[in-house]
Structure 1
Amino acid sequence: MLVSSVDLGTTNLKVVLYDEQLRVLASRSQPMRYDRRGDQVEFDPSTLTESVLTLIAACASDAGGTDGHDVVIVLTGQAETLVVTDGHGTAVRPALSWLDERAAAEAAELETAFGADEAFAITGEPFPSTTWPAAKLAWLRRHEPASLDAAAHVLMIKDYLVLQLTGQAVGEVTTRGFTYLWDVRRGAYWDAAVQHCGVRRETLPDVVPAGTDLGPVTADVAARLPAARSYRVNAGALDHFCAMVGTGSYTAGTVSESAGTVLSLSMLADDWSFDAARKVSFHAGLRPGETILFNGADSGGVALEWFRREGLAGMDWTELEEGLARRASASRPPAPVFLPYLTGVAPPDFLTSARGAFLGLDLSHDRLDMAFAVEEGLAHLLKRNVDYLTPGADDVDAIVSTGGGAASSFWSQLKADVCDLDVIVPDEREATCRGAAVLALVASGTLSSLADADALARPPVTRFATAHTETHDHRYRLFEDYLDRLYSH
């Protein structure tokens, strides 16, 4: 059996072909393309299907063909992007990316209608947002009612691809908590919110557990794919949660950090129970009865990329890494403190007035001092979220870091020192696709459990042991003090 893992990423579409031992046979990707107009971000979903089939075929060709093999296509990727189709599976309008922010008024109305605290207990999301399909559907109800009238299927992006490949309108449970239409603890649609958004209940897909085998592709799709004995589709799971499996961090006590454009944290909860006072997003796990805690801060790697572009005149990442290492070995004054709230509100504080700021800046500081401050500020934000995610002193023993930021040894060590936790960086560029492939191998019976994957072509890791000192505590107290004095009121 071969596994073709499809990652529907925000920036790129990616397909990785694996054998039963989780060895990578081929990998292909291409960028996602959007139509951006102000706060509106859309794309043609039909091109998504064509691109995925092309990438699957290219991987098969690179691997020497798939003739004579059973192939499972397993899906992972982003969640919130909304696609509305007719009864033939044709989109009635362009897909609305999760990046689309047109529905700000509708998100506010959701809070007015249900109350953020009451909705949190149901949806697992601390606050309504323009990101969620619920707000976008309410916008369509108000501004494009004909689109909802024509809808036979109201889908998220992964659901849409399932429909194109199998002819079935099926959703997968780990992505439902990102709709603001799903009762996470009850495992069912939240009818009051569905009605509020003007959606007919029958247009929403049935929901299956993560890693569910959905059966064969349609005859039309099979005819467009490379020769193989058979093609089946697996529902997979959310990209962040698949990455946990792909890096061996799907275990209680380990925080999984995605150090990309967005800073996101995921952790399998141990003996979790709902606490209304802790505004931590919670979601169905990969196995029945499990809960995954999740926090995402838009002010992640995007802040460092901003400073590299605007403050360092586009300095190469390698040059930046070398410069920061030289700075660390030199006698420099304490760096300024950076508050990385360039995109405004971020967990765990959700301070609506928060903005980015350098503090303690003086004429002795140079651009590398400021670059260090940006990386340290993001490490402070990471610590803030880890502490909030895991309030017990002994709840977490390490951070497993993936994503573009994990390539920086200097930054990974700084995170370990600031958070007083070892940071583990797997040498695995395709953690999300690997995790999705594990789900498919478990569903097929090739593996008996998720943990069995650790013995198969397991990637090597680099461990950055914490060298935490009182200086790190002092710097973090400064960060907290500045944040409180500037924005808490």
Structure 2
Amino acid sequence: MSYVVGIDLGTSAVKALLVDKNGTVAAEASRSYPLFHEHSGWSEQKAEDWVQATIEALNELASSNGIAADQIEGISFSGQMHGLVLLDAENKPVRNAILWNDTRTTAQCREIERTLGDKLLGITRNPALEGFTLPKILWVRQYEPQAFEQAKLFVLPKDYVRYALTGELHMDYSDAAGTLLLDVAGKEWSGDVLSAFELPASFCPPLVESHGLVGTLLPEIAERTGLQASTKVFAGGADNACGAIGAGILSEGLTLSSIGTSGVILSYENDKDKDFQGKVHFFNHGKENSFYAMGVTLAAGYSLSWFKKTFAPNESFDEMLQGVGEVKPGAGGLIFTPYLVGERTPHADPAIRASFIGVDGSHERIHFARAVMEGITFSLNESVDMFRSVGKTVDKVVSIGGGAQNPVWLQMQADIFGATVVALENEQGPGLGAAMLAAYGCGWFESLEACADKFVKHAASYEPQPEAVETYKGLFRIYQQVYAQTRGMNEALVAYRG
């Protein structure tokens, strides 16, 4: 049996999956690494910690019982997006990596908007947000000029790990799309953006497709991991792109609903000119010459976790939600907006906060629990609604994460989205997508779609119920009014928050 490895470089840990030709996960290994918060709003990691953790995880996989090193044909990657790794002339990091969830760069975002104007959305297809890479580059140049002077090149997190394994420097399009330096539709580094900020073209690494072969393992890495030096290494992709691949989101009409701490609605797109006016993210896909649109709910699963911690701390989620399916759609006229930590899509607003609207004396805790689940799903439906408003088809939604663990929530998603919702048999997320890129790169399949047919296995399917669909249509329009009605109040309340 032959195998590939998918490496998912996350914010708290790296996870490596060993996958066979049937898409079965034969073994997995993970290693954690520290986060550094030197100042409020800062979030950094040491690039070498990623490398060490990845090598240890690969060594554990290579030691799996009954699997010989020569059976492992290829490796690919999924990586946390946007993180800045600055390299010197010898390709060594000049400082800690600044991560996607670092928020120090608000002033640099405003500078980008002033400098580029309409070119920003026209070229990069995304607004300037603190998480993106270019604002981080400008921050280092302004506040750490000595470090910036040493920097000759930048890469993203997974690209540095791959360089450490192969000695080759590249960046794939799906990750490059999150830098604000890529011409997303043209698939090239933007000369206009680079020149606007006086950055040389040599500051950016060569671009490559996600399934592209970028090298083999260095001899010393092969020795440390227990793998063969001839093991093929493929570029990989951004975590959201790989998550989409791992869920089979590879054709028009397919959409991903992912409910973790935050929530993501991601829809496949093959039209590079589709204009969302920056209201949702628009990135290159891990599938060649394809794209995806993505909206984000900041407090998705977190809203339900907050509710449990606050109102049912000694119960399991199942106990807390017992009977939620018996509450009719609309939770008895109760609406929740999940703005506990602000919101991203469609309201990029850090000051807005959550609300329960319509509370009366007949409501019990179970009504509030259902309203929280509905509110999270309404927030995700803001993105679905926006996709449809520009002519996108959303008729099948693959649901993963916490929202896929509860049959009531899966039916709720089908009813609110007005689309068929399916769960997956064995959810492995971005790591599986990375393994699929390696499998495709190794020539196991003629296309990523053929690979998905083998690797991605659907479980239960939920169809929208016409009566519930109509109820939720009316409630959703009311939900959409709450943001504007409460925005001013929340801004006034900022002064009273501890």
| CA distance in 2 between partners of 1:106 and 1:447 (Å) | 44
1:234 is matched with 234
Q: Which residue of 2 aligns with 1:110?
A: 112
What's the TM-score once normalised by structure 2's chain length?
A: 0.90
1:379 to partner: Cα distance? 0.9
Contact 2:271 2:291 in 1 (8 A): no
Q: Distance in 1 between matches of 2:30 and 2:278?
A: 38
Residue type at the aligned position of 2:110: A
Q: State the Cα distance separating 1:34 from its structure 2 match.
A: 0.6
Q: Tell me, in whole angstroms, the C-alpha distance in 1 between the residues paired with 2:279 and 2:200.
A: 30
Separation in 1, partners of 2:299, 2:124: 23
Q: 1:208: how far off?
A: 0.5
Between 363-372 and 376-385, the greater mean CA deviation after superposition: 363-372
**CA distance in 1: counterparts of 2:246 and 2:36, whole angstroms:** 32
Match for 2:105: what amino acid? A
Query: Given the two structures, how large is their TM-score scaled by the length of structure 1?
Result: 0.92
From 407, 410, 424, the equivalent of 1:409 is 407
1:193-212 → structure 2 map (5 Å cutoff): 193-195=193-195, 197=197, 199-212=199-212
1:350-369 equivalence runs, <5 A: 350=348, 354-369=352-367
Tell me how far apart the structure 1 counterparts of residues 391 and 133 of structure 2 sit (CA, whole Å): 36
Q: CA deviation at 1:251?
A: 1.3
Aligned to 1:55: 57
Q: 1:190: Cα distance to partner?
A: 2.3
Instruction: Give how far 1:33 is off.
Output: 2.4
Q: Find the counterpart in structure 1 of residue 492 from structure 2.
A: none
Q: Provide the rounded CA distance (Å) in 2 between the counterparts of 1:333 and 1:186.
A: 47
Question: Does residue 263 of structure 2 align to residue 275 of structure 1?
Answer: no
Q: Which residue of 1 aligns with 2:22?
A: 21
Indicate the residue corresponding to 1:395 in structure 2.
Answer: 393
Which blocks of at least 5 consecutive residues in structure 1 are unaligned?
A: none
Note if 1:328 corresponds to 2:313.
no
Matched position secondary structure for 1:250:
coil
Please give the residue correspondences for 1:44-443 in structure 2 after superposition, counting only pairs within 5 Å. Answer: 44-115=46-117, 117-125=118-126, 127-195=127-195, 197=197, 199-228=199-228, 230-271=230-271, 273-275=273-275, 277=277, 279-313=279-313, 315-325=315-325, 328=327, 334-350=332-348, 354-391=352-389, 395-443=393-441
What are the superposed Cα offsets for residues 147-187 of structure 1, whole Å, 9 maximum, x if unpaired? Answer: 11111331111111121111122111111111111111222
Change (3 A) 1:162 1:415: same
* Residues 180/430 of structure 1: CA separation in 2 closer, same or farther (3 Å cut): same
Query: How well do the aligned residues superpose, as a CA RMSD in angstroms?
Result: 2.5
Shift in CA distance, 335/119, structure 1 to aligned 2, threshold 3 Å: same
Q: Distance in 2 between matches of 1:401 and 1:231?
A: 34
Deviation at 1:375, TM superposition (A): 1.0
Answer yes or no: is the 8 Å Cα contact 1:418–1:473 preserved in 2.
yes
Q: For residue 493 of structure 2, what is the aligned residue in structure 1?
A: none
Q: Say if 2:280 and 2:293, in contact at 8 Å, map to a contact too.
A: yes
Look up the SS of the partner of 1:84 in the other structure.
strand
Map Cα deviations across residues 318-354 of structure 1 (whole Å, 9 max, x no partner): 22232424x528x997152111122224212445653
* Structure 1 residue 394 displacement after superposition: 7.5
Which region of structure 1 is more displaced relative to structure 2, 15-24 or 241-250?
A: 241-250
Residue 243 to residue 276, structure 1, CA distance change in 2 (3 Å): closer
Flag the 1:98–1:66 CA change in 2: closer, same or farther, 3 A: same
Q: Which amino acid aligns with 2:45?
A: F
Is 1:312–1:367's contact at 8 Å kept on the other side of the alignment? no
C-alpha deviation, 1:274, in angstroms: 3.6
Q: How many residues align?
A: 485
Partners of 2:49 and 2:22 in 1: how far apart?
Answer: 32
How far apart, CA to CA, are the structure 2 residues paired with 1:394 and 1:188?
Answer: 26
Q: Is 1:484 paired with 2:479?
A: no
